[in-house]
Amino acid sequence: MNESKAMILGASGPVLTADEIALYRSERPWGFILFARNIGEASQVADLVSAMRDAVGRPEAPVLIDQEGGRVQRIRAPLAEKYPSAAELGALYAQDREKGLRAAWLMSRLHACDLLKLGINVDCLPVLDVPVQGASNVIGDRAYGFDPVVVSEMGQAAADGLKAGGVLPVMKHIPGHGRGMADSHHELPVVNASLAELEAHDFVPFRALRNELMAMSAHIVFTAIDPEQPATTSSKVIEEVIRGRIGFDGLLMSDDTSMNALKGTIGERARRIAGGGCDIILHCNGMMEEMKAVVEEARPLGGDALRRARAVEAAFGPGGGLDEVALRQEFWSLLSLA
């Protein structure tokens, strides 16, 4: 069978179009990502996920979603409860470390329960960014706190809760979005902190969780490392920092190709992402013309990228049994303390 291509693609709506099925079938994306526009009733979401996997002929194809809690929660009531933000969990940690860690684990375990029922097997969580005062609120309450040790511990608990439920985590946004003074959805943030400052603060949670299997890049320029290219397209940041100083050898996917922090056409962006050393090009908005531009630049998975992708596929599991009602009661009782 032909190898999957090094890309993750979205879809335009709740049901695949004939053109989307044809594109997926011919171009073989490694995985898919869902957004709120794709979410309706439970049976519809499960059917959409199945149709995506059927189109590429791979029942193990990863299907991702951003289900953090707080303001970034693609699946909402009645399919999932309205979960608190990471900052709310961090507030509980500040009162009682063990209760905070337990709450982070529980919320992720409940996310996994919600997602796996729909066939979704990857959650783009935990957010390991450590904000600084004055930074853009694009991270804001999505972070567990301002202390890299707290973020590391809470992030590990969140990752472990997902894995206990058979869903794999994606760390974001490596090597750190916390200092960004602009929203990378709209413009390119430039960080002028020294390498020593970044080492002592921004990189800490990613180094602590470096053995996780997947991470998403930051569309941020770090002038101390590469003043020209954002981390997503910088071979220097990826090789020297992400692979080197942080020690992450898992599957590295770009943040969304269509975000305006990146310059040039979609095809040019995808080419730079692939050329810079990201294993996977992520394209989210489901716009057909943009997806066609991405597939022109995406290569078949090979070498280290293929090894990392295979490690992800091998790690999927059914998740352990749980008493869902009891876990939900425990989680919300803990949150009442925050």
Provide DSSP, 243-308: IIIS---SEEE-S-TTSTTS-S-HHHHHHHHHHHT-SBEEE-S--HHHHHHHHHHPPBP-HHHHHH
Structural contact between residues 325 and 94, judged by C-beta atoms closer than 8 angstroms: no
Q: What is the rounded CA–CA span in Å between residue 133 and residue 137?
A: 10
User: Which one from 147, 185, 249, 304 is the annotated catalytic residue?
Assistant: 185
Angle at which helix 86-95 crosses helix 148-164, to 10 degrees, equals 110
Candidates 292, 241, 295, 284; CA nearest to 260 is 284
Q: What is the rounded CA–CA span in Å between residue 190 and residue 202?
A: 14
The structure tokens listed for 108 are 């992720």
Active site residue 279: no
- The CB density around residue 207, as the number of other CB atoms within 10 Å, is 16
Q: What is the rounded CA–CA span in Å between residue 161 and residue 261?
A: 32
Active site residue 111: no
CA dihedral 69, 183, 260, 254 (to 10 degrees): -50
3-state secondary structure of 96: coil
Burial annotation 65-94 (CB, 10 A radius, 16+ → b, else e): bbbbbbeebbbeeebbbebbbbbbbbbbbe
User: Which one from 255, 256, 279, 283 is the annotated catalytic residue?
Assistant: 255
Candidates 211, 260, 202; CA nearest to 232 is 260
Q: Which residues contact 139 (CB under 8 A, 6 or more apart)?
A: 127, 129, 131, 177, 178, 180
Q: What is the rounded CA–CA span in Å between residue 104 and residue 90?
A: 9
Give me the active site residues, please: 185, 255
